[in-house]
Amino acid sequence: MALIPLKDTSVILASQAPWRSNILKQLGIAHQCYDHQYNEPKYEYGSIERFVEKIACEKALSLQFSFPNSLIIAADQLCYIGNEVLYKPGSKEAAIKQLELLNNKQHKLICGVAVWYNGSIKSEIDIAHLRMRDLSIPEIEAYVEKDKPWDCAGSYKIESLGASLFETLQVDDPTTIIGLPSAKLISILRAFGFSNLL
């Protein structure tokens, strides 16, 4: 099957997060950013991987009637340690507490990506395993002050100074940690018949 140039299609990113938009730009995918219209629930029980994948799908679906002729990309991400889910901290103090919890421990970062197009939706998840260094409280406080990561699950920005926080990272695709797994996304786009290379 011959693939269609993605540049000939209107692409919507269901997110205003600049790091997700930057990944699409790196892939050469022209797009517009809009806030999704889905009221995200908190995780309660069941497979957290399926939960994250469902949230990504719901975000994309929430814009389908606003942009019926577009291809809509959405993503979701959760940080998971032990039996606890860490959401976006929302404040400096909460970010410091999250990093104190992750300090010198391994955790999972689960990221889902979904694409809606022409009445169909496809989705994938990817999982990163990260081990944080044994950091002092002053180091954690200094990091939060510099990177201001209170809009990120787990309270770090791996694409910035947050790369200094970790001893080991196990992940197939580094963009999974940033918040939009590009390899999974490209596979979905190709399954829909699109190529970002053309």
CATH number at residue 174: 3.90.950.10
Task: Tell me whether residue 118 is in a domain.
Answer: yes
- Tens of each residue's pLDDT in the chain, 198 residues: 789 999 999 999 999 988 899 999 999 999 999 999 998 888 888 888 999 999 999 999 999 999 999 999 999 999 899 888 988 898 999 999 999 999 999 999 999 999 999 999 999 999 999 999 999 999 999 999 999 998 888 899 888 898 999 999 999 898 999 889 999 999 999 999 999 999
Strands 11-13 and 32-33, how do they pair?
Answer: parallel
Task: Tell me whether residue 140 is in a domain.
Answer: yes
CA-CA distance, 181 to 188, in Å (whole number)? 11
Q: Tell me the CA distances in angstroms from 114 to 31, 59, 72, one per residue in order.
A: 15, 8, 8
The catalytic residue among 8, 35, 76, 134 is: 76
Task: Tell me whether residue 157 is in a domain.
Answer: yes
Q: Which residues contact 127 (CB under 8 A, 6 or more apart)?
A: 49, 108, 109, 110, 111, 171, 176
Residues, the chain: 198
CA-CA distance, 3 to 114, in Å (whole number)? 19
Q: How many domains does the chain have?
A: 1
Full-model pTM = 0.89
> 135 is in which domain, residue-wise?
4-193
Task: Tell me whether residue 198 is in a domain.
Answer: no
137-147 vs 92-102: helix crossing angle, rounded to 10:
130
Task: Tell me whether residue 153 is in a domain.
Answer: yes
Check if 134 is active-site: no
